[in-house]
Amino acid sequence: MILIAGPYKSGTGGDPELMRRNLKRLEQAAWPVFEAGHVPMIGEWVALPVLDSAGATGPNDPLAEQVMYPTAQRLLQHCDAVLRLPGESRGADQDVAIARERGIPVYTSLDQIPRA
């Protein structure tokens, strides 16, 4: 399983449309990761439904701080690598730091990911 990390909320000013575009950009990497024989994972795929089920109004809700980054941290305990996409993102940088602490690979482009 490879966590796809990059900007989601960063640089959006909380604009839902910009966050949607960022998520779409992250999701564009999912097929190439899958095609290489891996399971792609994006933290928001898990965190956003968790937020919704907790009654939060979305990623700008105060509850998001308790869910968004912790979800990625928990997922990283099960991931075999991280694909860090370009763009400024505190959360993605945290994902990379956790991956390095765990000693799992951090890829910065799709062509670096080995075929499974």
pTM value is 0.95
pLDDT digits (tens, 9 = 90+) for 72-106: 999 999 999 999 999 999 999 999 999 999 999 99
Where do we find the tokens 């701080």?
65
Q: Do 94 and 102 meet the contact criterion of CB atoms below 8 Å apart?
A: no
Fold observed for domain 2-112: Rossmann fold (3.40.50)
In angstroms, the Cα distances linking 37 to 33, 64, 92, 103 are: 7, 32, 23, 21
Written as six digits, the tokens of 16 are: 């839902």
pLDDT digits (tens, 9 = 90+) for 2-27: 999 999 999 999 999 999 999 999 99
The residues spanned by each domain of the chain are 2-112
